[in-house]
Homo-oligomer: A and B are copies of this chain.
Amino acid sequence: MVAIFGLLTDFGERDPYRGQLASVLLRRCPSCQLIDLSHRVDPHNILQGAFFLRASWPYLPEGCVVVAVVDPGVGGSRDIVLLRSGEGYVLAPDNGLLELMFRHARLDGLWRLSTERYPWRSATFHGRDVFAPLAADLVTCRNPDGLGTRLSVRDMVRLQYGEAEFEGDYLVVHVLHVDRFGNCVLNIPEDSREKELLESGGAKMMEPESVFVPAVAAYCDIPAGRPGLLPGSQGYLELATDRESCAELLGLGNGDRCLFCLP
């Protein structure tokens, strides 16, 4: 069986950090496959990393081990944890990066990993010096109980992050992520409240602009130069404009608030 690692970090692509992490994996597993989910999580942006991870999880090959490193507390006392979901694993710092996996993915095991076997570790680059060898150990032994001790979600650091909320007739929403095309991913998971918006055919937006936003199925169904609501490809409702940046049209950025008035 081919070992497959998924990589998700805030290292960027200019510095040789991703290459060094990959080098350590390839030293140990010369025939592995590497899938770069993203290395452009904004520096230290744990919520964005959590979103990229949760959005990508359903597509990863069976048995994939994701090495997720958005780790502002590197070198301090934060733990390194391992989550199992189905046949797949994620290795991450215990800082909230797994938050959306806890909420939306099947949870088949959780471990705090022992890092004492890596005494040569730097204090500033555990991705290369601790996470990568731990991930290689895992695909070699496939026995997480040999790598650490079992935890429950109650023992984990949780991320303060709210999904969309109703306030009277209003729905208060935040932009979870603006993508390259200016599509605004909203904090409304596809299996929840968006049905109310979508099934009712749309909603009146009150903020940032006063405009009716129709619910559509595809970008091309959105009237030119206007925003529309549609089920996105990342597991959340999206606010989009056809062939233009909706973020620019409405002046929206990551974390910004939108207000809808429900019919």
Contacts and interface: CB of A to CB of B under 8 A. Distances in A.
Interface in A8-28: 8, 10-20, 22-24, 26-27
Interface stretch (A36-44, A98-106, A145-153, A157-165): A36-44
A14 B254 CA distance: 14
A179 B75 CA distance: 18
Interface stretch (A195-203, A207-215, A217-225, A255-263): A217-225
B125 A180 contact: no
Chain A interface SS verdict (over half)? loop
Interface residues of A, number: 68
A72 B220 CA distance: 9
B13 A38 contact: yes
Given A76-B220, A128-B59, A238-B124, A19 B35 contact: yes
Contacts of A62: 27
Interface in A161-213: 177, 179-181, 183
Contacts of A232: 122, 124
Contacts of A233: 122, 124-125, 128-129
A16 B124 contact: no
Contacts of A18: 36
A86 interface: no
B15 A180 contact: yes
A30 B13 contact: no
A26 B38 contact: no
A38 B55 contact: no
A166 to B, nearest CB: 26
A218 B74 contact: yes
A123 interface: yes
A43 B178 CA distance: 14
A23 B233 CA distance: 15
A114 interface: no
A24 B59 contact: yes
Contact of A35 (B22, B40, B122): B22
19 contacts: A6-B19, A8-B16, A14-B38, A15-B38, A15-B177, A16-B234, A18-B36, A19-B35, A19-B38, A20-B55, A22-B36, A26-B35, A27-B60, A30-B61, A74-B219, A75-B220, A76-B219, A124-B218, A124-B233
